Chains A and B, each alone.
Chain A
Amino acid sequence: AQSVTQLGSHVSVSEGALVLLRCNYSSSVPPYLFWYVQYPNQGLQLLLKYTSAATLVKGINGFEAEFKKSETSFHLTKPSAHMSDAAEYFCAVSGGFKTIFGAGTRLFVKA
């Protein structure tokens, strides 16, 4: 069985500040982990994915995430927030056929 917990339904940062969105997972098998971004009234777009290769994964738009097995975490970071990063972010885990999504974290970016 798998599950995903995203800590914080809302995160607010200033433009140029560090972005940190937290995700913890549980999985009975080696997981594949994903971060997706959703803009209003749109589908989800893949930001990055972990598939058992390098533990530090780089994605699009300057985002990256680090897989930490000991902490069962896959937190998403970006060194400098941009206004265009304001969106909903979903962490997801897949260890088999289905993909399980976290509840989502809405990122607000203040000017």
Chain B
Amino acid sequence: GAVVSQHPSWVICKSGTSVKIECRSLDFQATTMFWYRQFPKQSLMLMATSNEGSKATYEQGVEKDKFLINHASLTLSTLTVTSAHPEDSSFYICSARGDSGRTNTGELFFGEGSRLTVL
């Protein structure tokens, strides 16, 4: 199956710093990627939809200036948490939906997730 790689898996940073998380589709082109946030023992909360070559679409209540998304190529989307604070600590997961036939049924391919801890 298609592979999505997310990096870093774990990151610890000081309050006020910015953190970048990368999401790569390794063996397929992903015109659309999705960024989720997951709190402990909860479901995935869609933060934004990342579209290659255009601006991301953010869900209601998600701060655009706080969570910067860039999808500069067909295989890479990045999420930057700017001026991170302890309340931004969470598990962030990306997923990709390609433009190939095998993904036109809506199946998502997920990255491994990134655990962010802000001190």
**What residues of chain A have their CB less than 8 Å away from a CB belonging to chain B?**
32, 34, 36, 41-46, 49, 51, 90, 94-95, 97-99, 101-104, 106
Q: How far is A97 from B34 in the complex, measured between Cα atoms in Å?
A: 11
Q: In the complex, how many angstroms separate the beta carbon of B5 from the nearest chain A beta carbon?
A: 10
The number of A-B residue pairs with CB atoms under 8 Å apart is: 55
Sample 15 A-B pairs with CB under 8 A, ordered by A number: A34-B106, A34-B108, A41-B9, A42-B112, A43-B93, A43-B113, A44-B108, A51-B105, A90-B43, A98-B49, A99-B34, A101-B43, A101-B44, A103-B43, A104-B43
- Residues 80-108 of chain B, each 1 if its beta carbon lies under 8 Å from chain A, else 0: 00000000000101010000000001111
Task: Kindly provide the distance from the CB of B102 to the nearest chain A CB, expressed in whole angstroms.
Answer: 11
* A98 contacts across to B, CB distance below 8 A: 46, 49
B6: which A residues are within 8 A, CB to CB? 43
| Beyond known contacts A43-B6, A98-B46: 13 more, CB 8 A cutoff | A32-B107, A41-B113, A41-B115, A42-B113, A43-B93, A44-B44, A44-B110, A46-B1, A46-B108, A46-B109, A90-B43, A97-B49, A101-B43
**In whole angstroms, what is the CA distance A52 to B34 when docked?**
24
Distance (Å) between the CB of A92 and the closest chain B CB?
Answer: 8
B105 touches A103 (CB 8 A): no
**In the complex, what residues of B have CB within 8 A of residue A41's CB?**
9, 91, 113, 115
Q: Are A46 and B107 in contact (CB under 8 A)?
A: yes
- Complex Cα spacing A45 to B112, Å: 9
Number of interface residues of B (CB under 8 A): 24
A41 vs B4: C-alpha distance when bound (angstroms): 16
**A99 adjacent to B108 (CB under 8 Å):** yes
Residues from chain A with Cβ under 8 Å of B110 in the complex: 36, 43-45
